Structure 1
C-alpha cells in the first residue's frame, strides 16, 4: 500500500503500549514511514545470570529490591518467588472481582496499591522505550519529534479501570516527561484492526461478519464485526455488543501450579525455585505445544532439579513427566469458558458469522483452536492470524497512525460500535400518576414551577445502539438554583450506566450505578449572562439552558459543555 508523504510539521512518533496481565509489548512507527512498525524485542536483563533477553514481549512483573525497582527480565532468576509481584493489572478493575485480589495480595506488595504498581511498571517501560528510540533514531530526531501514545485496555473493563490506566500513564515519569497525549484503545479493537488488515482481500465480501476473540493472559475479550466497505480502505462496524470474562491463560498457570503442588509439594527439595522453573517451562513450551490429538499417555518434560528419582510419581533425572491426560484436566475448565463466550457471541449476532479470528497469547494455543473448531458450526472457519501475540500492540500503532493523519494513514476503520450498556443521567420531571405511580412516594414539591416533581432517568444511549466517534450524543438540560443562595459556579451531572440486559428503566434502582461525575466550571461566565426566572413561589431562580456533548471513543468518553452556543472544554469527568 502506497503512503503519501506527511508534512514535516505533522511528523510524529506513534507509540503503542500493550500493558498485559502476564506480558507487555511496545511498538512504534514514524508517521513519515508508517509501513515500518517496529516492535521492541530487546529488553533490560538482570546482571546475575541472563546474558541478554530477546523477546517480542516482556513479563509484567515487578520486584522492589531496596531502593531499586526491578521489572520484567531484569528480575534475577534466583529472586525468591515471594518477592515478585505479578498479575497486578487485574486489580485495576475491582468490578471484576474474582481472582485479582487473591492473586496479587502477596507480601511483596509491601502495602503498595495497584495504582503505584502500574505507574512504576509503565514508567519502566517508558524509560526503556525512550532509550530504544534514541538508540534507533538518534537523540536529535527524538528530541525534535512529537510523541503520541496509544495504550490498550480490555474492552470488558469498567470506565473507572480504563481511566485508572490512563492516569497511571500520565503519572509515570517515563511517559509524563514527554508531555505527550495519551489515548486509549480497546484491546480487541486493536487486534481486529491488525488481523482484518492481514486477511486475504480477495476472499472478503461486503456483509461478511467475523468474531474477534482476543484471548490474553488475564482477560478474554470478544467483538463481532461486519465488513461495510472494501475500497479504498477496509471499513467495518460492530455487529453485536462485545462480551468477555476473566478466563485468560493466567488461569491455566494457576491450575498447573496447584496441580504440581498437590502432586510433588511434599517431596524433599520441592521449593520456590523448582516451582519457578517448572512454571517457566509450562508457560514457554508445554502450554503452546499441547494439542487435542495428543494420546492420553503422551508426556511433556517439566524440569524439577533436585528431586529424587521416583518412578511412581514420574520423576527421573530431575525431570517430571507430565501426562497429556493431566494437561487436559488443567486446560478444560478454562477452555470451556472461552468456548461458551465464543458460542454466545455467535448466537448474539444478528448476522451469520463467517469466521472466528483467535488473537492474543492464549489465542495462539493449538488446543484452544481445536476445541473451538469442534464446538461451533463446521461452516465457521477458525483462524489464527500470524503473530497473534503481537496483534494488539501492532493494531494499536495502526490506530494511532490513522488518528494522526486520517485521510492518508487509515488502513482499517471501525465506523460504528455497539453500546455495551444503557448510558443516561437523572433529571427532575413533572410527576405523572400514570407513568410514575411506582415511585410516587419519592415525589417532592418544586417552588419554581409550582408542581410535584420526581427524579427519572434520561437515557441517551441504550444497550446495543450504534455509537460512532463522528456523531456525538447531546443531552439538553436546565440547571436551576435559587438566586439568594449565590451565583452558580459549577454545573454538575452524574452519568449512570445499567449493564443488565433488561429494557432501560424509568427510574434509578439498585442495578443503575454512577459511572462518572461530570463537572463544568461556569464561574467565568459574566453574571448578567445567567438567565433568571421568577418562580411561582415568588422567588428568583437562575435558569441555565445547557447541553452536554458526549463522544464515545474506543475505550474512553469525552465530555464538553455547551452553553449560549459556546463550547466549554473545561469539563472534568471523575470516574467512580
Structure 2
C-alpha cells in the first residue's frame, strides 16, 4: 500500500476504511483501520489545542464554542476565556426522556440556554461538532495511510449510542452525521453509516484485549461495566469460544444516566457551599471552570479512592472580600475532606454498584454460578473510588478488573472498529457476538377473527372484505424482552393488504412498530405499549401479478403479501421490507422513529 500523496499510486480492489466514533458526553474519540492492514488499529490524536500539552491525548473534549462572526472552536482548541457549551449530547433526547434529576441540572439548563442564545437545535450543534471531529479524523487518516488510499477506499462509519437511549436518537444522530458531511459523495462510493450500542462496543474491545489471557476458558461469564460521562451501561457475556473469540450475551443488560458528569455537578455544589454564595458568584464562570478543571478533574477526582485525607488550595484572589486582603492576614484556603469528596461520589456510585449487584444476580440465576470478572471500562471506569467501591461490594468471590492508561478510555471507539472488521471478516482481533438479549419487546398491532370467549367487545368490528367479525388492538410480538436474538434467527412478520381492481397502482404502504419495556409483553395494546416507528414502503403494485381472494359475496380482491424484518446488530435495531422473497432496495423503504 502506498503512503505517498500521489493519486496515481492507488491500488485496485475493494478497499474499505472502517472508522469508529465514540461521541461522548464529556469526551469523544475516534479509531480506525483499513482492509489491507486490518490487524492494525489507530486511535486519532494530535488534536488542535490552545494548550499544547493536551494535543496528543486519545480523546478530545465534547465542547464547542459558537463565537462571533461564525468563528467556531472546539475540543482543546477553545481558549479558556471563551464561552462554550458542553453536555449537549444529552439534549439529543427529549426532555421527558431524561430523569427528573438530570432534566433540571444546572449543566443541562446552561446547555439549553446556550443553544437558545445561538438559535441552534441539539442536532445542529452535534452536527457542527462532528463536522470538526470528522475533518480532523480524515486529515489524520490521510496523513497516515496516504491520499490515494483515502480517495479510493470506501468509508464505513460506526457511531456508538447509549443502549438506554430511545430508538429515535439513532435517526437524530444520522441527521447530525449528514450535517457533518460524513455522508457526502466520494469517488469510491457512498459512505456506509452504522450504529452500535456503547456497552457492546466497550465489551468487544475489552474481550479482544483479553484473548491472550491464559485464565479465560469456554463457558466463563463476564460483566462489562461501561462508565462514561453521561451514561453507565452494563452488559454480560458468556465466552462461547476463546479462539476464535465468540461470545453471546448472557442476561438482559441494563443502564442509567449516572455517569461522571453527575459526580462533577455534585462536587460543584459542595465547592459552592465551601466558598459561600457571595464569594462563589464573584468568582465568575471562567474562574469556576478553571478551578474545577485544575483542582477537581485533574486532581482530586482521579486521586480519590475513599482513603482519609485532605485537599487544600488557596482561594482565587478575585473572589476575596476586602477583609481578606488586610496586610499580614493569610489568604483564606479551601479545605476539602475525604468525607466531602465522598458525598459527591456516593449517590452515583451507589446506583452503579446496585446495577452491578442486579446483573451479577441475574447471571447467577441463569447459570448457577457467579461471573468470573466484573470489568470496568470507559473514562469514569478509571475512577479509583468506583473500583474500590465495587471490590468492597462484591467481596472476594468476583474479581474486579480495571485497566490503566488509555485502554479503558478508548474502548468504545476501538470496539466499534472491531465490530466493523468482524462483520467483514477482516482481522484476527475480531470478536463474534453469536447472541444478544433484547432489552425490550417489539411488535405490531394486528386484527384477528372475533372470539366471544377471549376478546373485548369494544374492539369488535365487521370486515367488509373477508365478511367476518374481527377484533383490533391485539399485539403480535416480533421479539420479547429478555429473548435471545441470534444471527441465524429471522425476526419477521408477514403482512397482507387487499385491493380491488380500482385501487391506485402507486402508493405508500405504512406499518407502525410498537415497543414495550414491561417484563411481560401484553396480548393487547395497553398504556405500557408505545409507538416506536413507522416503516414506509413506496411501491408500484402490479395487481395482475397478485394472488386473488373471493369473499362470500363473490367479490374478488387482490392480496399483496410482504414481510417486515427486524434485525439487531451491535445492539441497534434496523428494519427491512421483503416482497416475493427479495429485500426491497433502501431508497424504497424509509423508517421514521417517533419523536425523531
Partner of residue 572, structure 1:
590
TM-fit CA distance, 1:482: 4.7
Partners of 1:372 and 1:129 lie apart in 2 by: 36
Q: What aligned pairs does 1:247-258 form with structure 2 within 5 A after superposition?
A: 247-258=258-269
Partner of residue 286, structure 2:
273
Q: Out of 204, 208, 231, which is 1:193 matched to?
A: 204
Q: Out of 407, 432, 440, which is 2:451 matched to?
A: 432
TM-fit CA distance, 1:85: 1.4
Partners of 1:185 and 1:302 lie apart in 2 by: 46
Higher deviation after alignment, 553-562 or 422-431: 553-562
| Alpha-carbon contact 2:311-2:335 (below 8 Å) kept | yes
Partner of residue 563, structure 2:
547
The two structures have a TM-score, normalised by structure 2, of 0.88
- The DSSP-based 3-state class of the residue aligned with 1:497 is strand
Higher deviation after alignment, 254-263 or 411-420: 254-263
Q: Measured at CA, do residues 62 and 154 of structure 1 come closer, stay the same or move farther in structure 2, by a change above 3 Å?
A: same
TM-fit CA distance, 1:50: 5.5
Partner of residue 454, structure 1:
471
TM-fit CA distance, 1:230: 1.5
- The DSSP-based 3-state class of the residue aligned with 1:274 is helix
Partners of 2:428 and 2:80 lie apart in 1 by: 43
Partners of 1:20 and 1:533 lie apart in 2 by: 54
- The DSSP-based 3-state class of the residue aligned with 2:37 is coil
Q: What aligned pairs does 1:156-167 form with structure 2 within 5 A after superposition?
A: 156-167=164-175
| Alpha-carbon contact 2:445-2:475 (below 8 Å) kept | yes
Partner of residue 204, structure 1:
216
Partner of residue 4, structure 2:
none
Higher deviation after alignment, 476-485 or 213-222: 476-485
- Give structure 1 stretches of 5+ with no counterpart: 1-6
TM-fit CA distance, 1:409: 4.2
Partners of 1:106 and 1:161 lie apart in 2 by: 21
TM-fit CA distance, 1:549: 2.0
Q: Deviation string for 1:216-245 (max 9, x for gaps)?
A: 0000000110111122x1111001111000
The alignment status of 1:391 with 2:405, answered yes or no, reads no
Partners of 2:506 and 2:146 lie apart in 1 by: 53
Q: Measured at CA, do residues 263 and 177 of structure 1 come closer, stay the same or move farther in structure 2, by a change above 3 Å?
A: farther
| Alpha-carbon contact 1:14-1:397 (below 8 Å) kept | yes
Partners of 1:499 and 1:157 lie apart in 2 by: 13
TM-fit CA distance, 1:274: 1.8
| Alpha-carbon contact 1:18-1:152 (below 8 Å) kept | yes
Partner of residue 4, structure 1:
none
The alignment status of 1:114 with 2:122, answered yes or no, reads yes
Partner of residue 73, structure 2:
70
The alignment status of 1:469 with 2:487, answered yes or no, reads yes
- Give structure 2 stretches of 5+ with no counterpart: 1-10
- The DSSP-based 3-state class of the residue aligned with 2:196 is strand
Q: Out of 15, 28, 31, which is 1:27 matched to?
A: 31
Q: Measured at CA, do residues 236 and 429 of structure 1 come closer, stay the same or move farther in structure 2, by a change above 3 Å?
A: same
Partners of 1:425 and 1:189 lie apart in 2 by: 27
Partner of residue 96, structure 1:
97
Q: Measured at CA, do residues 108 and 426 of structure 1 come closer, stay the same or move farther in structure 2, by a change above 3 Å?
A: closer
Partner of residue 6, structure 2:
none
Q: What aligned pairs does 1:504-523 form with structure 2 within 5 A after superposition?
A: 504-523=521-540
Q: Measured at CA, do residues 562 and 327 of structure 1 come closer, stay the same or move farther in structure 2, by a change above 3 Å?
A: same
- The DSSP-based 3-state class of the residue aligned with 1:270 is helix
Q: Measured at CA, do residues 361 and 51 of structure 1 come closer, stay the same or move farther in structure 2, by a change above 3 Å?
A: closer
Q: Measured at CA, do residues 329 and 202 of structure 1 come closer, stay the same or move farther in structure 2, by a change above 3 Å?
A: same
Partners of 1:404 and 1:152 lie apart in 2 by: 18
RMSD: 2.4
Higher deviation after alignment, 343-352 or 184-193: 343-352
Q: Out of 283, 304, 310, which is 1:290 matched to?
A: 304
| Alpha-carbon contact 1:238-1:418 (below 8 Å) kept | yes
Higher deviation after alignment, 533-542 or 351-360: 533-542
TM-fit CA distance, 1:368: 0.5
Partners of 1:182 and 1:230 lie apart in 2 by: 30
| Alpha-carbon contact 2:208-2:429 (below 8 Å) kept | no
TM-fit CA distance, 1:168: 1.4
Q: Measured at CA, do residues 185 and 253 of structure 1 come closer, stay the same or move farther in structure 2, by a change above 3 Å?
A: same
Higher deviation after alignment, 93-102 or 341-350: 93-102
TM-fit CA distance, 1:434: 1.7
Partner of residue 87, structure 1:
87
Q: Measured at CA, do residues 433 and 378 of structure 1 come closer, stay the same or move farther in structure 2, by a change above 3 Å?
A: farther
Q: Measured at CA, do residues 527 and 409 of structure 1 come closer, stay the same or move farther in structure 2, by a change above 3 Å?
A: farther
Partner of residue 270, structure 2:
259
Aligned residue-pair number: 554
| Alpha-carbon contact 1:447-1:535 (below 8 Å) kept | no
Q: Measured at CA, do residues 41 and 322 of structure 1 come closer, stay the same or move farther in structure 2, by a change above 3 Å?
A: farther
Q: Deviation string for 1:165-193 (max 9, x for gaps)?
A: 12311331255355411111111111111
Partner of residue 105, structure 1:
112
TM-fit CA distance, 1:100: 5.0
- The DSSP-based 3-state class of the residue aligned with 2:300 is helix
Q: Measured at CA, do residues 213 and 73 of structure 1 come closer, stay the same or move farther in structure 2, by a change above 3 Å?
A: same
Q: Measured at CA, do residues 483 and 101 of structure 1 come closer, stay the same or move farther in structure 2, by a change above 3 Å?
A: farther
The alignment status of 1:339 with 2:339, answered yes or no, reads no
Q: What aligned pairs does 1:221-240 form with structure 2 within 5 A after superposition?
A: 221-231=233-243, 233-240=244-251
| Alpha-carbon contact 2:115-2:122 (below 8 Å) kept | no
Q: Measured at CA, do residues 52 and 410 of structure 1 come closer, stay the same or move farther in structure 2, by a change above 3 Å?
A: closer
The alignment status of 1:320 with 2:337, answered yes or no, reads no
Q: Deviation string for 1:334-383 (max 9, x for gaps)?
A: 11111111111111221221110000011110101111111124201111
Partners of 2:255 and 2:168 lie apart in 1 by: 17
Partner of residue 5, structure 2:
none
- The DSSP-based 3-state class of the residue aligned with 1:183 is strand
